[in-house]
Chain A
Amino acid sequence: MVSFDPTVAEHDHHDPAPTGGRAVRIGIGGPVGSGKTALVAALARSLAGRVRLAVVTNDIYTTEDADFLRRNAVLPPERVEAVQTGCCPHTAIRDDITANLDAIETLEERFGDLELVLVESGGDNLTAVFSRGLVDRQIFVVDVAGGDKVPRKGGPGVTTADLLVINKTDLAPLVGADLGVMTGDAARIRGELPVIAQSLVQDPGAAEVGAWVCAQVDAVRAAV
C-alpha cells in the first residue's frame, strides 16, 4: 500500500553541496551474460584495500544484484548507485549520459574522496560504447560461451575499447570455443590495444584486469 497522507510523507531530498575532486571513471560494457557484474564484483573485492571506489550500475537492477555485490564484493550498498535507462542501455552510456553523470556526482558528493568509479553498462550489443564525456577509460567484456567469432565481428566495443576482456576461459573446452581464434582475431582487429583472457573461476580476484585498472587510475590522475 502506498500512503498518500502528506503528514507521513518523507522529506524532500536534500542535496549536499559538491565537495570538489573527481574520481577516475572506468566504463565496463559488453553483451548480456558476458560477466560484467562478476568482473565488477571481483574488482571491488580485490581493489578494496588499494583504491577508494564506488560503482554505478546500469544493469536491470534488482535486490538480488545488490545482495550479490554485498555478499561477493565487500561493497556496502551505499557505494552502489543504480541508474534506470528507460529500456535503452546504450542511450544512457552514449547519446544521453546525463543520468550516469548525475549518479557519479551523487557518489562523489556522498564520499568526497573517491578515487575510482566503475560504471557498469546494461547488457547490450556489440555496437555499444561509452561516451568519452562519461568515462576516462572503457573495458569491453565478451565471453567464450558467446561464440568464438565475436571478436572477429568487431563493432566499436571490440575494436575501440581501451581493454578487451575475454571472459570465462575455463568454459572454452566445454562449449567448443577456440581461445586461440578469439585472442588472435582480437589482436588483429585491435592492433596495439590490450586484450586480457581470464577466468574468474581460476582467478577470482581478476588480478590482471585489476592491475590494468590501477595503472589507468594512476595515469588519468597524473594527467589531470
Chain B
Amino acid sequence: MAGLASLVLADARFPGGGHVHSGGLEEAAERGLVTGTASLHAFLRGRLRTAGRVAACAAAAAAHPSGPDRLGALDAALDARTPSLAQREASRAQGRAALRAVRAAWPSPALDALVAVHRRPHHPLLVGVVVGAAGEPPAAAARCVGYLAVSGPASAAVRLLGLDPFAVNAAIVALGDDLDAVTDEAAALAGGDPGDLPAPGAPLLDLMAESHVHHHRERVRLFAS
C-alpha cells in the first residue's frame, strides 16, 4: 500500500531539484534519436528496464528494514552498477538536491546514517530510506523510483520537443506492466545481499550521459543531465 511519502517524492511538484534533469532525453533529442511519442516510448521503456531497474532495486533495498544497516554496501553497489561518471554525478546531485526538502519533511536517524555514508547520497537510496522510515514497504520505494526514471525524461520531452502532453502521459501509463515487473523484482530482492542486485547495462544511455556533459562545455544545454 503506497503511503504519502512515496506519493510526494514522485510528485513533479516536489521541490527536490528533479525538474532540471532529463535522464539523457535532452541528448537523445539533440541527436535525433527521440523525435516523437513512439520513439519516446521506446526510450522510456529501455530506460525503465535498465537504469530504472537498478535504481528501483536499490531503493527497495534501502527501504527494507535491514536497509539502514547496509547503506554503505548499497552505495557501493550503485556506484558499481553505474559505469558512467556523469550518471553517478547526476544521481548524487539529485540526492543532495532532494536532501534539503526531505530533511524538512521527514527527519530521521536513518537519513542521518545515509548522509554519514556519503554527503551526496545516491537519489534512489535517499528515496528508499525516506519511504522505509515512513513505514512504507520496499515495493512503494521501488515503484516511486521506477516511475521517476520515466516521468522526468517524459516531462523533458514535452518541454524540449513540444510533444502532445496527453500522448506523452499515455506513453507513461502504457509502461504499467513494465513498472509492475520492475517493482515486483525489486521487492523480492530487497532483503538480499546488495552484491546480488541486478546489473543490467545500457551502454547507449551511459554514452549519452557522458556526451551531455561533454557538450555542456561547448554549447547550450538546458538540463543538468
Contact = CB atoms under 8 A, between A and B. Distances in A.
A-B complex is real: yes
Interface of A: 2, 4, 6, 9-10, 12-13, 15, 17, 60-63, 83-88, 91-92, 95-99, 101-102
B89 A85 contact: no
B211 A102 contact: no
Interface of B: 13-22, 83-85, 88-89, 92-93, 96-98, 100-101, 119-120, 156, 159-160, 203, 206-207, 210-211, 214, 218-224
A2 B86 CA distance: 12
Contacts of A17: 119
11 contacts: A2-B211, A10-B85, A62-B220, A84-B221, A86-B156, A86-B223, A87-B156, A87-B222, A96-B15, A99-B97, A102-B97
Nearest to A131: B15
A191 B71 CA distance: 55
B207 A4 contact: yes
Contact of B20 (A2, A9, A61, A83): A83
A131 B15 CA distance: 12
A72 B101 CA distance: 37
Contacts of B84: 4
Contacts of A60: 220, 222
Given A2-B210, A60-B220, A61-B220, A12 B19 contact: no
A4 B210 contact: yes
Interface of B is mostly: helix
Contacts of A4: 84, 203, 206-207, 210
A86 B22 contact: yes
Given A2-B211, A2-B214, A15-B120, A86 B16 contact: no
Contacts of A95: 13, 15
A124 to B, nearest CB: 14
Contacts of A83: 20
Contacts of A87: 156, 159-160, 222-223
Contact of B85 (A9, A15, A96, A97): A9
A84 B13 contact: no
A122 to B, nearest CB: 10
A96 B159 CA distance: 17
Contact of A13 (B19, B21, B89, B214): B89
Contacts of B220: 60-62
Nearest to A63: B218
Contacts of B100: 98, 101
Contact of A98 (B101, B156, B210): B101
Given A4-B207, A6-B83, 6 more contacts: A2-B207, A4-B84, A13-B89, A86-B223, A87-B222, A102-B17
